[in-house]
């Protein structure tokens, strides 16, 4: 094996909000290899790479470049040391030409102006040298995603990058573009560059990488030679549960259909399919889980269910009412509640009081209004009761919600959504970023709601949560439902991993049971 | 120290710093700085007439301050109160000149007309914002110019008294003018109107569902939308109300303080309203104090210009410093963070 080009030893990263993103992670990079980092969302891949690129500083641990200790305080430092990164979201100026983007920040000068023809020449030279074909005079906004990615790679190379970090580079590409990218990466490797490839698409990893570092829950699960491990092995190491939570659930026959989704299909402006023939139902007294690696259509599904995306093909019905063209207010009035994924963006108004945040979905009701004015006393009582019931740690209902910890803030959101006794609760990542205690509490509340006859649709990337809470489980992959599992608590992580990573798929008959059973 | 008092303390600190700098400037330019400072601080309160001046000036500031506060509360940085204040004044003046009514109905009709015109005109940037997300700051500032242009045209070509020596309108009908409240001052019934309006706005904002919608839309529009509120309607509603109040302010000012319409430039009360709203932290009741404070330092500066060697423009510097520090979010933030940390530790 060639010498270690870059080593990261005992890296621990704790964010100011207390989230431990990396714990004693070891990582090493040999010169001239393509090295994959795989792991689920939130496994700590991106954090590790941000530290390698100088965007974050490790809380503990050291980084060595060619045996020398390396201290990075900014991405500029990393670039100077020959480390380049291509982000998932491109950092290009759309209204500039390719050449202008290439030289941004290091423009060749002619007097006080920019030597544009020199920039074009530099771009052409780089393009020829690395066999990455781009038109230097084209405007970036007119180019395809694949082309933009090439420019990003060239940009990094122009700045002297020997180590290239690619953050989920294929997530936005078509299969043809992906193949082209792989050809280019292999070429770069032959020219002596070292590439870090972040992904959770195992086929791709197998196709081009030499070694794999597998991450799970902030820790490294080991480094493997790609040829030594099968996709199944990787999936087993990637997808796993640390602590098994157990909840007692009363088993009761399900009631009537609360939500039925039929043949729902959606595509984006470019025609790329986001959802394909999604069909399932949620019955009263049932928690239906949706598992899947993030970005496989879950977000779009929730947006369609809550009226933010308009549905062209297929239908969604809540208690028999088709909700086509309804806005979220009307959907809510049918007895639907919704815990959003991002509590800061949608779930709460930071500066407003806890009490104001608790009533936002029911302030219009007769119980809260006496003709002209809101009933302050009723609202006060409700707020006090919810704070007590949900054990929200705060100084009182008048405290701004922004001052609470993440877990307590989320409890307020859950309290609000549960307080209207909904017929259907859509819970999107309900315990993301909250402490274990609060998470368990929220789980109990979801089960309580189910036991009282509500239907719950739970979308979560947390396997523990989804396997333990769900009465039946759907797995999504690339916008499709690929599996319907009736007894989630008996499903092994291994099996689930195969479905989540697209290595296995049930036949249509089995999937249809999500609607017909 | 509790975090909830932070904003109060911060505002007080800003005012003190601004006044301190004012003293330094006075000391630098004045031959007799102590006397100048005495005039600046004391003269506005010295006689009944001067106190009257402060209150007279505070009335339009309260109107515009309240209007802007409501907009700011909805997180709309709209500075259109300036143009609306002016234009509604023109409307009220027109009716004050041309209508014949009794002394109760005449101002009532003129003020109501001015207010309604204000509300309707204000709705335009509101609709643009709500439907197409047009930046309300830009559209409202452009509207200020348009309204000023039209208003000036009406003054010059429709209302202008050729007999008078300056560009002023015909005299208002005696019946149209507002009654003076206190002999020896020009304090007029507009004071009662604006105080009633402030109380009403407080209840509207904090005790009704519409006020709740405005506050939530302002705090986080996406959250309001997600909760099921129709935020586009909320934005238009708050524009209508703010326009109504600003328009009423212009009408009341014209009928309360003048006997002819004589603004050949924008009077500036709308932009001052933004300063009042900032000082009041967009709270209706605090608007009273903020407007009185601003009027007080303005009258102080006037007196100083009259009786000492410091020009009145000095006060612009004080105002600029206040705006700068109040809008500088980071100012004293470290202190707040420290308090937040302490509070958090106590709660854990």
ipTM: 0.85
CB A234 within 8 A of CB A212: yes
Q: Does the pLDDT at position B339 exceed 70? A: no
Pick the closest to residue A42 from A233, A186, A222, A238 (CA basis).
A238
Q: Does B345 touch chain A (CB under 8 A)?
A: no
Could you say which of A352, A393, A405 has the minimum Cβ distance to residue B216? A352
- Does A218 contact B at CB distance below 8 Å? no
Give dist(CA B67, CA B81) in Å, integer.
7
Confidence of residue B329 (pLDDT cuts 50, 70, 90): low
**Does residue A403 share a domain with residue A467?**
no
More confident residue, A148 or B190: B190
Distance from C-alpha of B179 to C-alpha of B283, rounded to nearest angstrom: 29
| Residue A7, pLDDT above cutoff 90 | no
CB burial readout A394-414, b (16+ within 10 A) else e = beebebbbebbbbbbbbbbbb
The 10s digit of each residue's pLDDT in B252-303 is 999 999 999 999 999 999 999 999 999 898 999 999 999 999 999 999 989 9
How confident is the model at residue A103, as a pLDDT? 85
Percent of chain A with pLDDT over 90: 28
A194 and A210 together in one domain: yes
pLDDT for B343 equals: 61
Domain check: are A47 and A178 in the same one?
yes
Task: State which residue of chain A sits closest to B219, comparing Cα positions.
Answer: A349
Average pLDDT of span A11-35:
81
Q: Which uninterrupted H or E stretch holds A484?
A: strand A480-485
- Judge whether A53 lies within some domain: yes
Please compute the mean of the pLDDT values over residues B227-248 and round it to a whole number.
96
CA B159 to chain centre: 26
Cα angle value A370/A374/A379 (rounded, 5°) = 110
Residue A142: CB atoms within 10 A of its CB come to 11
Across the interface, whether the CB atoms of A349 and B347 are under 8 A apart is answered no
A366 near B CB under 8 A: no
- B13 vs B112 pLDDT, higher one: B112
Mean of pLDDT values over A480-509: 86
Question: By 3-state DSSP, what share of chain B in percent is helix, strand and coil, each rounded to 5?
Answer: 75, 0, 20
Check whether residue A215 and residue A320 sit in a common domain: no
Q: Which residue has the higher pLDDT, B8 or B140?
A: B140
A243 pLDDT more than 80: no
Rounded Cα–Cα distance for residues A164 and A85 (Å): 6
The per-residue pLDDT for B276 is: 94
Pair B238, B201: CB distance under 8 Å: no
Of the listed ranges A495-509, B52-66, B194-208, B274-288, the least confidently predicted one is A495-509
Q: Do B219 and A332 touch (CB under 8 A)?
A: no
Tokens of A426: 């859509």
CA distance B42 to B29: 19
* DSSP code of residue B174: G
User: Is A332 part of the contact surface with chain B (CB cutoff 8 Å)?
Assistant: yes
Angle between helix axes B284-307 and B314-327 (nearest 10 degrees) is 150
Strands A219-225 and A211-216: antiparallel
> Looking at chain A, which residue has its C-alpha nearest residue B341?
A403
Q: Are A137 and A127 in contact (CB under 8 A)?
A: no
B219 touches chain A (CB under 8 A): yes
Considering the domain boundaries, does residue A28 fall inside one?
yes
Cβ–Cβ of A350/B219 closer than 8 Å? yes
Predicted pLDDT of residue A322: 93
The count of residues in chain B is: 348
Average pLDDT of chain A is 86
- Count chain A–chain B contacts defined by CB atoms under 8 A: 72
Find which of A337, A352, A354, A408 to mutate to test the B interface (most B CBs within 10 Å of its CB). A352
Task: Check pLDDT > 60 for residue A309.
Answer: yes
Domain limits for position A221: 1-82+162-238
Cα separation, A232 vs A214, in Å, equals 13
Maximum average pLDDT range among A137-141, A156-160, A357-361: A357-361
> In the numeric block, which tokens belong to residue A497?
């991993």
Question: How close A347 comes to chain B (CA, Å)?
Answer: 6
B228 touches chain A (CB under 8 A): yes
Q: Half-sphere exposure (CA, 13 Å, Cβ side) for A494?
A: 4
Whether residues A434 and A507 fall in one domain: yes
- Which residue, among B290, B241, B298, has the nearest Cα to B268 in the 3D structure? B298
- The CA distance from B68 to B82, in Å, is 10
CA distance B347 to chain A (A): 7
Contacts with A94 (C-beta within 8 Å, 6 or more apart), sequence order = A139, A140, A141
> Does A367 map to a domain?
yes
| A302, A349, A398, A437: best to mutate for the B interface, most B CBs within 10 A | A349
Cα A470 from Cα A415, distance rounded (Å): 20
What mean pLDDT is predicted for residues A107-129? Answer: 83
pLDDT tens digit sequence for A170-200 = 876 777 778 888 888 888 888 888 999 888 7
In terms of domains, do A322 and A427 share one? yes
Same domain, A414 and A478: no
Q: Is B347 on the interface with A (CB under 8 A)?
A: yes
A411 with A431, same domain? no
What's the pLDDT tens digit per position in B185-204? 999 999 999 999 999 999 99
In a domain, A248, yes or no: no
Best of A360, A365, A401, A415 to disrupt the B interface by mutation (most B CBs within 10 Å)? Answer: A360
Q: What is the mean pLDDT of residues A38-58?
A: 83
Q: Between A175 and B160, whose confidence is greater?
A: B160
pLDDT at residue A1 tops 50: no
Average pLDDT over residues A362-374: 88
Q: Is A87 a member of any domain?
A: no
Instruction: State the Cα–Cα distance between residues B290 and A165, nearest whole angstrom.
Output: 55
Res A244 pLDDT > 70: no
**Same-domain pairing of A169 and A189:** yes
- Same domain for A331 and A356: no
CB contact under 8 A, B208 and A374: yes
Average pLDDT over residues B227-239: 95
Residues A286, A264 share a domain: yes
Whether B225 sits inside 8 A of A393 (CB atoms) is no
Give the pLDDT mean for B141-164.
93
Give the residue, B328 or B103, on which the prediction is more confident: B103
Whether residue A239 has pLDDT greater than 80: no
* Record: contact A403-B216, CB cut-off 8 A: no
Confidence (pLDDT) at B348: 45
Looking at per-residue confidence, does A39 or B232 come out higher? B232
Helix (H) or strand (E) holding A35: strand A34-38
Number of domains in chain A: 4
**Same structural domain for residues A497 and A440?**
yes
Contact A349 B212 (CB under 8 A): no
Which one-letter DSSP state was computed for residue A405? -
Q: Quick one: which of B56, B65, B120, B92 has its CA closest to B251?
A: B92
pLDDT of residue B323: 80
Strands A313-318 and A287-291, bridge-based pairing? unpaired
Residue after which a domain boundary falls, among A379, A404, A419: A419
Q: Over 60: is that where the pLDDT of B1 sits?
A: no
Q: At A148, which helix (H) or strand (E)?
A: helix A145-158
Q: Identify whether the C-beta of residue A51 lies closer than 8 Å to the C-beta of residue A88.
A: no
Residues of A in contact with B343 (CB under 8 A): 395, 403
pLDDT tens per residue, range B69-102: 999 999 999 999 999 999 999 999 999 999 999 9
**The pLDDT value given to residue A3:** 65
Angle at B1 between CA A395 and CA A404, to 5 degrees: 30
Instruction: Pick the residue from chain A with its C-alpha nearest to B228.
Output: A329
Measured in degrees and rounded to the nearest 5, phi and psi for residue A254 equal: -75, 155
Tell which B residues from 152 to 211 touch A, by Cβ distance under 8 Å: 203, 207-209
A19 Cβ under 8 Å from any chain B Cβ: no
- Which comes out higher in pLDDT, residue B340 or B286? B286
Which residue among A384, A400, A419 closes a domain? A419
The CATH number that applies at residue A465 is: 3.40.50.300
In a domain, A484, yes or no: yes
Tell whether A394 is within 8 A of chain B (Cβ): yes
Mean pLDDT check: name the lowest of A106-120, B106-120, B142-156, B258-272. A106-120
Given A180, A208, A238, which residue is the final one in a domain? A238
Helix (H) or strand (E) holding A318: strand A313-318
State which residue of chain B sits closest to A352, comparing Cα positions: B219
What the block records as the tokens of A222 is: 């080991």
């Amino acid at each position: 094996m060639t010498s270690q080009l870059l080593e990261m030893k005992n890296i621990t990263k704790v964010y100011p909000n207390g989230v431990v993103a990396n714990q004693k992670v070891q990582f090493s990079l040999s010169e001239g290899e393509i090295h994959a980092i795989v792991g689920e969302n939130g496994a700590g891949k991106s954090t590790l790479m941000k530290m390698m690129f100088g965007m974050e500083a490790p809380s503990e641990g050291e980084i060595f470049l060619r045996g020398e200790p390396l201290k990075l305080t900014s991405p500029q430092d990393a670039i100077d040391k020959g480390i380049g990164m291509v982000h998932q979201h491109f950092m290009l100026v759309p209204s500039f030409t390719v050449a202008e983007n290439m030289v941004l920040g290091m423009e060749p000068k002619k007097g006080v102006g920019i030597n544009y023809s020199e920039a074009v020449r530099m771009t052409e030279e780089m393009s020829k040298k690395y066999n990455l074909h781009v038109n230097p005079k084209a405007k970036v906004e007119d180019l395809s995603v694949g082309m933009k990615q090439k420019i990003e790679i060239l940009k990094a190379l122009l700045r002297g990058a020997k180590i290239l970090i690619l953050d989920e580079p294929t997530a936005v590409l078509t299969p043809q573009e992906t193949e082209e990218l792989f050809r280019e990466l292999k070429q770069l490797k032959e020219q002596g560059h070292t590439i870090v490839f972040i992904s959770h698409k195992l086929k791709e990893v197998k196709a081009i990488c030499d070694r794999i570092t597998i991450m799970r829950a902030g820790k490294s699960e080991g480094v493997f030679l790609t040829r030594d491990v099968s996709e199944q092995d990787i999936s087993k190491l990637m997808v796993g549960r640390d602590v098994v939570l157990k909840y007692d659930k009363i088993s009761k026959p399900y009631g009537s259909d609360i939500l039925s989704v039929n043949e729902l299909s959606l595509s984006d402006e470019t025609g790329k399919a986001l959802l394909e023939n999604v069909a399932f139902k949620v019955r009263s007294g049932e928690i239906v889980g949706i598992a899947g690696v993030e970005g496989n259509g879950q977000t779009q599904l929730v947006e369609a269910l809550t009226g933010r995306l308009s549905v062209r093909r297929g239908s969604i019905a809540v208690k028999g009412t088709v909700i086509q063209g309804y806005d979220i207010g009307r959907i809510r009035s049918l007895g639907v509640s919704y815990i959003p994924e991002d509590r800061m963006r949608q779930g709460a108004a930071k500066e407003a009081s806890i009490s104001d945040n608790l009533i936002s979905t029911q302030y219009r009701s007769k119980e809260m209004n006496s003709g002209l004015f809101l009933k302050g006393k009723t609202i006060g009582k409700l707020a006090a009761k919810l704070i007590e019931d949900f054990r929200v740690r705060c100084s009182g209902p008048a405290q701004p919600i922004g001052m609470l910890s993440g877990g307590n803030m989320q409890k307020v959101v859950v309290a609000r959504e549960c307080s209207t006794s909904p017929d259907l609760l859509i819970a999107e990542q309900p315990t993301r970023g909250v402490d274990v205690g609060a998470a368990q509490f929220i789980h109990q509340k979801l089960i309580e709601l189910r036991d009282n006859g509500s239907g719950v649709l739970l979308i979560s990337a947390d396997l523990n949560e989804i396997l333990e809470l769900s009465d039946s489980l759907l797995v999504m992959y690339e916008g499709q439902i690929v599996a319907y599992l009736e007894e989630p608590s008996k499903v092994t992580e291994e099996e689930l991993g195969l479905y989540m990573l697209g290595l296995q798929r049930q036949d249509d008959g089995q999937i249809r049971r999500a609607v017909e059973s | 120290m509790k975090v909830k008092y932070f904003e109060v303390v911060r505002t007080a600190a800003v005012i003190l710093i601004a006044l301190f700098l004012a003293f330094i400037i006075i000391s630098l330019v004045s031959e007799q700085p102590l006397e100048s400072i005495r005039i600046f601080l004391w003269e506005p309160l010295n006689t009944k007439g001067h106190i009257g001046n402060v209150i007279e000036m505070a009335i339009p500031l309260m109107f515009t301050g309240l209007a802007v506060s409501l907009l700011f509360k909805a997180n709309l940085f709209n500075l259109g109160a300036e143009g609306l204040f002016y234009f509604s004044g023109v409307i009220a003046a027109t009716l004050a000149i041309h209508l014949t009514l009794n002394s109760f109905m005449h101002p009532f009709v003129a003020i109501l007309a001015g207010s309604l015109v204000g509300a309707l005109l204000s709705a335009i940037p509101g609709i643009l914002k709500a439907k197409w997300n047009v930046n309300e700051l830009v559209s409202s500032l452009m509207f200020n110019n348009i309204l000023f242009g039209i208003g000036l045209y009406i003054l010059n070509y429709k209302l202008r008294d050729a007999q008078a020596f300056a560009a002023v309108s015909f005299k208002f009908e005696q019946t149209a003018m507002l009654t003076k409240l206190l002999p020896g001052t020009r304090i007029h019934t507009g004071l009662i109107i604006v105080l009633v309006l402030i109380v009403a706005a407080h209840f509207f904002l904090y005790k009704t569902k519409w006020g709740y919608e405005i506050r939530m839309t302002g705090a986080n529009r996406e959250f309001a939308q997600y909760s099921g509120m129709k935020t586009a309607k909320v934005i238009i509603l708050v524009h209508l109300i703010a326009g109504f109040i600003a328009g009423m302010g212009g009408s009341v000012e014209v009928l309360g303080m003048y006997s002819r319409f004589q603004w050949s430039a924008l009077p500036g009360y709308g932009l001052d309203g933004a300063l009042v709203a900032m000082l009041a932290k967009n709270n209706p009741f605090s608007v009273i104090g903020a407007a009185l404070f601003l009027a007080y330092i303005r009258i102080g500066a006037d007196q100083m210009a009259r009786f000492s060697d410091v020009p009145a423009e000095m006060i612009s510097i004080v105002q600029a410093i206040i705006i700068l520090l109040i809008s500088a979010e980071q100012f004293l933030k470290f202190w707040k963070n420290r308090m937040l940390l302490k509070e958090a530790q106590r709660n854990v």
